[in-house]
Amino acid sequence: MSFRVVEIEGLKYEKPVLIEGFPGVGLAGTIAVNHIVSTLKLKEIAYIESEAIPPLIGLRDGRIVHPVRIHANSGLIVVVSDIPIELKYANALAKSLVDWVASKNVILMISLAGIARMRREREEGERIVVGAASSQGALKILDDFKIKRIEFGTIVGMPTAMLLEGEKRDIPTLLIMAEAHSNYPDAAAASKLVEVLNRALNLGVDIKPLLEEAKEIEAKVAQLMEKTRRSVQRPALPLV
């Protein structure tokens, strides 16, 4: 299966950094990249085309929004996906994407994702952020960003494909993951990812809207759990 980057608008790039956030645990990476795009007002300059992508589009102000799209300015390229990518297509998509960004002289690639919370008793504000890298040089960048290395484990999907493609091309590639709830969209986890990028890349993206969104989601989840608890505790009707 082939994938193709279709450019809508040309830009002159100056050693850009690539950030991608495909759907995963808590949609942490997806929420983070969408927030970066909207805050920095990055224009959609390209999209991904493939028969592997379902015939689905979004609409915004009457215009088409491609399900897998690329936003950018001269120093930052951000890939946003509204749909998960099937595992069997991840390598092919990563290859096409890296082919394209390599032609723009990308100097660093970063995948953002969520990871299932490792300690349930940890307070919301204490969630950890961990990372992995494609090479020894990339590990040094991870350490410079003050991100704790993942000690051991297994990862799958687009982050894996991007790390492997970065290793092949000798392009420093990082995976940055924040602890996230797996049962609902986790804007608090997304805020942790953006906070790290603000510190590492000096993005200057305000995370307050994400924290406010997180509180709203958590309040709704708490209400739903309370309703469920009450319905479970409700005495059964007598049989006639």
Domain ranges for the chain: 4-207
Residues 103, 178: Cα–Cα separation, whole Å: 30
Average pLDDT, integer, range 53-73: 89
Predicted confidence band of residue 110 (pLDDT cuts 50, 70, 90)? very high
Side-chain half-sphere of 102: how many Cα atoms within 13 Å? 16
pLDDT of 204 strictly over 90: yes
Average pLDDT, integer, range 160-172: 97
pLDDT of 72 strictly over 80: yes
Average pLDDT, integer, range 155-166: 95
What is the signed CA dihedral for 123, 215, 36, 99, rounded to 10 degrees? 60
Q: What is the total residue count of the chain?
A: 240
Predicted confidence band of residue 234 (pLDDT cuts 50, 70, 90)? low
Predicted confidence band of residue 50 (pLDDT cuts 50, 70, 90)? very high
Query: Is 134 buried (19+), middle (13-18) or exposed (0-12) by CB count in 10 A?
Result: buried
pLDDT of 232 strictly over 70: no
Q: What is the pLDDT of residue 18?
A: 98
Q: What is the pLDDT of residue 201?
A: 96
Average pLDDT, integer, range 158-166: 97
Q: What is the pLDDT of residue 227?
A: 64
Average pLDDT, integer, range 96-101: 97
The class that CATH gives domain 4-207 is alpha beta
What is the phi/psi pair of residue 50, to 5°? -170, 150
pLDDT of 120 strictly over 70: no
pLDDT of 93 strictly over 90: yes
pLDDT of 183 strictly over 80: yes
Average pLDDT, integer, range 66-74: 96
Q: Which two tokens stand for residue 237?
A: 């009707």
